[in-house]
Amino acid sequence: MAHVPAAERREQLVRAAIELLMRSGPAAGSTRAIAKELGVPQATLHYVFGSKEELYRAVIVQLTDEFLGYVRAVEVPAGTDFEDSIATLTARLWQTVLDQPRKHQLLGELEMVALRSPQMREITADHRLEIDRITSALIDDTATHFGIVPKVDTIRIARFYFAALDGLINQHLTAPSPDVEEWCLARIVDNVRLMVVSGADTTGRPLA
């Protein structure tokens, strides 16, 4: 393979790793297999990343950054009112699940792997917090646009939002049910609206 700049080579290796890991899973993603996928010596991969763990960290960062890109791309306002705006965000994010289920599956698998690695766990936690921060800011900005003062800390709302969405993604990957998923997505939006507007959940109970 012709010489390419280190940054470009790194990007090639990460994308090759993503393709291999989506097909075979993290357990099959040895440095030898990933190097073979791209057609480079195994030593090249070790030179660029140092270890398989560092490569996996880079894959987590890449996949999470792609996911964050969809959140960052949402305009404010994204709809005709606050609820419609959150529904639009949710629909866009869910479309990535429908379009790229293997990437979502791989990210979930790597997050489980990361729980047993202090270094990988740290980078995963950092990116999770970044998702929360960006989503919280989006909720704040949308509420402000419509003259709403959130009744609950929007970081908490963002954490709830992705906890619910992550659970629904796992259900979709294992036992998809489009009608039920649409109902669940609508309930997630309902709860976000109620938390922001009234500081309560769908039962009407005030949130601490």
Measured CA to CA, the distance from residue 172 to residue 94 in angstroms comes to 10
The confidence score (pLDDT) of residue 127 equals: 85
Span 130-136, average pLDDT: 94
pTM of the model: 0.88
Q: Does 2 score more than 70 pLDDT?
A: no
Give start and end residues of each alpha helix (H) in 100-177. Answer: 101-114, 118-145, 154-174
Span 35-62, average pLDDT: 86
52-96 pLDDT per residue, tens:
888 888 999 899 889 888 888 999 999 999 999 999 999 999 999
The confidence score (pLDDT) of residue 62 equals: 93
Q: DSSP secondary structure string, 25-53?
A: -GGG--HHHHHHHHT--HHHHHHHHSSHH
Q: Domains of the chain: which residue ranges? A: 1-50, 57-198
Q: What is the largest CA-CA distance in the chain?
A: 64
pLDDT band of residue 1 (cuts 50, 70, 90) is: very low
135-156 pLDDT per residue, tens:
999 999 999 999 999 999 999 9
Pull the structure tokens for residue 108: 């979930």
**Bridge partners for 191 per DSSP:** none
Does domain 1-50 fall under CATH 3.40.190.10? My reply is: no
Pull the structure tokens for residue 189: 């939006």
114-128 pLDDT per residue, tens:
888 887 888 888 888
* Least trusted range by pLDDT, from 25-39, 44-58, 170-184: 25-39
CATH architecture of 57-198: Orthogonal Bundle (1.10)
* Least trusted range by pLDDT, from 5-9, 38-42, 158-162, 168-172: 5-9
| Those residues with Cβ within 8 angstroms of residue 47's Cβ, 6 or more apart along the chain or in another chain | none
Percentage of residues in the chain having pLDDT higher than 70: 97
Mean pLDDT score of the chain: 90
The confidence score (pLDDT) of residue 117 equals: 85
